Chains A and B, each alone.
Chain A
Amino acid sequence: MLRNYLISTLRRLRRAKGFTAINIIGLSVGLTGAVLVLLLVQYELGFDQHNDKLDSLHIVINRVARPGGSDRHSPNVPMPLAPELLSQSPQIVRSARLAIGEMIVHGDEGSFEEGVIFSEPDLFNMFSFEVISGDPAAALSRPDGLVITREAALKHFGTVDLIGQPVALTNPAGRNEFQVLAVVESPPVQSTFQFRMVLPLQTHFAFARRELNWNSSNSFLLVETAGAVGKYDLDETFQAIVQKNKPDRAHVDAQGQQPTDRPYWNFYLLPFEDLHLSAQVGIGVDPRVLAILAAIAGLLLTIAIFNFVLLALGRLKSRFVEVGIRRMIGASRGNLTAMFLAEVLVTTLFALGLSFIILEFSLPAFNRLLGRELALGAMVDVGFWAAVVLLISLLVLAAGIFPALRLASMRPVQAMHGIDSASRKKGALRVGVIFQFSLAIFILVTALVFNSQMKFVLEQPLGFNQSQIVVYKIATEGEKISAWSQRLKEVLLRDRGVRSVTKTSVSVSRGFDRQGWYDRSKKFWRAVVRDVDESYLTTMEISLLMGRDFREQDDAEVVLVNQTFVDQFGLENPIGYLLDGFSYGAGTDPTIIGVVDDYNFSSLYSKVQPMMLRKRPAGLYSYLLARIAPDDVNGTLQRLADSWKNAAPGIPLTYNFLDEDIENLYVVEKKIRAVTQGAAILALALAAMGLLGMATIEVSRRTKEIGIRKVLGASVPDIMSLLSRRMVLSNLLANIIAWPIGWMVMQKWLGLFAYRIDLGLGTFVMAGLLALAIAVITVSTQAVRAATANPVDSLRYE
Chain B
Amino acid sequence: MLIQLIDIEKYYQTGAGKTFVLRNINLEIDQGEFVSIMGPSGAGKSTLLHILGVLDDPSGGSYLLDGHEVSSLSDKHRGELRREMIGFIFQAYHLIDELTVYENIETPLLYRKVKSAERRGMVSDILDRFQIVGKKDLFPAQLSGGQQQVVGVARALISSPRLLLADEPTGNLSSKEGETIMGLFKELHEAGTTIVQATHSEANAAWADRVINLQDGWIT
Interface string of B82-104 (1 = CB under 8 A from A): 11100010100011111100010
Report which of A11, A330, A413 forms a contact with B82, defined as CB distance below 8 A: A330
Residues on A with beta carbons closer than 8 Å to the beta carbon of B76: 332
Interface string of A410-441 (1 = CB under 8 A from B): 01110010000000000000000000000000
In the complex the two chains form, is B94's CB within 8 Å of A325's CB?
A: yes
Contacts A4-B103, A4-B110, A333-B75 known; A328 to B55 CB distance under 8 Å?
yes
Residue A8 is within 8 A (CB to CB) of chain B in the complex: yes
In the complex the two chains form, is B82's CB within 8 Å of A335's CB?
A: no
Residues on A with beta carbons closer than 8 Å to the beta carbon of B111: 326, 329-332, 335
Chain B residue, CB-CB nearest to A328: B88
CB distance from A322 to the nearest CB of B (A): 5
CB distance from B79 to the nearest CB of A (A): 4
In the complex the two chains form, is B96's CB within 8 Å of A327's CB?
A: no
CB distance from B149 to the nearest CB of A (A): 14
Query: In the complex, A412 Cα to B56 Cα: how many Å?
Result: 7
CB distance from A130 to the nearest CB of B (A): 56
Residue B45 is within 8 A (CB to CB) of chain A in the complex: no
* B-side interface residues, number (CB < 8 Å): 30
In the complex the two chains form, is A416's CB within 8 Å of B94's CB?
A: yes
Residues on A with beta carbons closer than 8 Å to the beta carbon of B55: 327-328, 411-413
Residue B24 is within 8 A (CB to CB) of chain A in the complex: no
Residue A1 is within 8 A (CB to CB) of chain B in the complex: yes
In the complex the two chains form, is B94's CB within 8 Å of A8's CB?
A: no
Report which of A321, A332, A333 forms a contact with B94, defined as CB distance below 8 A: A321
Residue A7 is within 8 A (CB to CB) of chain B in the complex: yes
Interface string of A292-324 (1 = CB under 8 A from B): 000000000000000000000000000001101
Query: In the complex, A45 Cα to B141 Cα: how many Å?
Result: 56
Chain B residue, CB-CB nearest to A414: B56
Residue A12 is within 8 A (CB to CB) of chain B in the complex: yes
Residue B53 is within 8 A (CB to CB) of chain A in the complex: yes
Report which of B80, B88, B98 forms a contact with A329, defined as CB distance below 8 A: B88
Residues on B with beta carbons closer than 8 Å to the beta carbon of A324: 94
Contacts A325-B94, A329-B107, A413-B55 known; A8 to B112 CB distance under 8 Å?
no
Interface string of B101-120 (1 = CB under 8 A from A): 00100111011110000000
Report which of A1, A8, A327, A330 forms a contact with B98, defined as CB distance below 8 A: A8
Chain B residue, CB-CB nearest to A417: B46
Residues on B with beta carbons closer than 8 Å to the beta carbon of A325: 94-96
Most chain B CB neighbours (cut-off 10 Å) among A330, A333, A412: A330
In the complex the two chains form, is A413's CB within 8 Å of B56's CB?
A: yes
Contacts A4-B103, A4-B110, A327-B55 known; A332 to B96 CB distance under 8 Å?
no
Segment 643-667 of A: residues with Cβ below 8 Å from B: none
Report which of B103, B112, B156 forms a contact with A7, defined as CB distance below 8 A: B103
CB distance from B190 to the nearest CB of A (A): 25
Most chain B CB neighbours (cut-off 10 Å) among A321, A324, A328: A328
Contacts A324-B94, A330-B83 known; A8 to B99 CB distance under 8 Å?
yes
Residues on A with beta carbons closer than 8 Å to the beta carbon of B84: 330
Interface string of A132-166 (1 = CB under 8 A from B): 00000000000000000000000000000000000
Residues on A with beta carbons closer than 8 Å to the beta carbon of B200: none
Query: In the complex, A321 Cα to B107 Cα: how many Å?
Result: 15
Residues on B with beta carbons closer than 8 Å to the beta carbon of A412: 50, 55-56
Query: In the complex, A329 Cα to B103 Cα: how many Å?
Result: 13
Chain B residue, CB-CB nearest to A325: B94
Residues on B with beta carbons closer than 8 Å to the beta carbon of A7: 98-99, 103
In the complex the two chains form, is B98's CB within 8 Å of A332's CB?
A: no
In the complex the two chains form, is B99's CB within 8 Å of A329's CB?
A: no
Residues on A with beta carbons closer than 8 Å to the beta carbon of B113: 1
CB distance from A321 to the nearest CB of B (A): 7
Interface string of B20-62 (1 = CB under 8 A from A): 0000000000000000000000000000001001011000000
Residue A209 is within 8 A (CB to CB) of chain B in the complex: no
Query: In the complex, A321 Cα to B98 Cα: how many Å?
Result: 12
CB distance from B163 to the nearest CB of A (A): 13
CB distance from A57 to the nearest CB of B (A): 57
CB distance from A14 to the nearest CB of B (A): 9
Query: In the complex, A321 Cα to B97 Cα: how many Å?
Result: 10
In the complex the two chains form, is A330's CB within 8 Å of B108's CB?
A: yes
CB distance from A793 to the nearest CB of B (A): 21
Chain A residue, CB-CB nearest to B139: A11
Residue A15 is within 8 A (CB to CB) of chain B in the complex: yes
In the complex the two chains form, is B108's CB within 8 Å of A332's CB?
A: no
Report which of B56, B90, B96, B156 forms a contact with A326, defined as CB distance below 8 A: B96
In the complex the two chains form, is A330's CB within 8 Å of B79's CB?
A: yes
CB distance from A415 to the nearest CB of B (A): 10
Chain A residue, CB-CB nearest to B165: A328
Query: In the complex, A330 Cα to B103 Cα: how many Å?
Result: 15
In the complex the two chains form, is B99's CB within 8 Å of A331's CB?
A: no
In the complex the two chains form, is A1's CB within 8 Å of B110's CB?
A: yes
Contacts A333-B75, A411-B56 known; A8 to B50 CB distance under 8 Å?
no
In the complex the two chains form, is B155's CB within 8 Å of A329's CB?
A: yes
Interface string of A60-92 (1 = CB under 8 A from B): 000000000000000000000000000000000
Query: In the complex, A455 Cα to B186 Cα: how many Å?
Result: 85
Chain B residue, CB-CB nearest to A412: B55
CB distance from A8 to the nearest CB of B (A): 4
Segment 1-25 of A: residues with Cβ below 8 Å from B: 1, 4, 7-8, 11-12, 15
CB distance from A339 to the nearest CB of B (A): 10
Residues on A with beta carbons closer than 8 Å to the beta carbon of B95: 325
A-B contact pairs, 12 of them (CB 8 A): A322-B97, A325-B95, A326-B96, A326-B107, A329-B82, A330-B108, A330-B111, A332-B76, A333-B75, A335-B111, A412-B50, A413-B55
B residues adjacent to A (C-beta < 8 A): 50, 53, 55-56, 75-76, 79-80, 82-84, 88, 90, 94-99, 103, 106-108, 110-113, 155-156, 159
Q: A321-B94, A332-B75, A413-B56 are in contact. List 9 more A-B contacts (CB 8 A).
A: A8-B98, A328-B82, A329-B107, A330-B79, A331-B79, A333-B79, A412-B50, A412-B55, A416-B90
Nearest 6 interchain pairs by C-beta: A330-B83, A330-B111, A8-B98, A329-B108, A11-B98, A332-B79
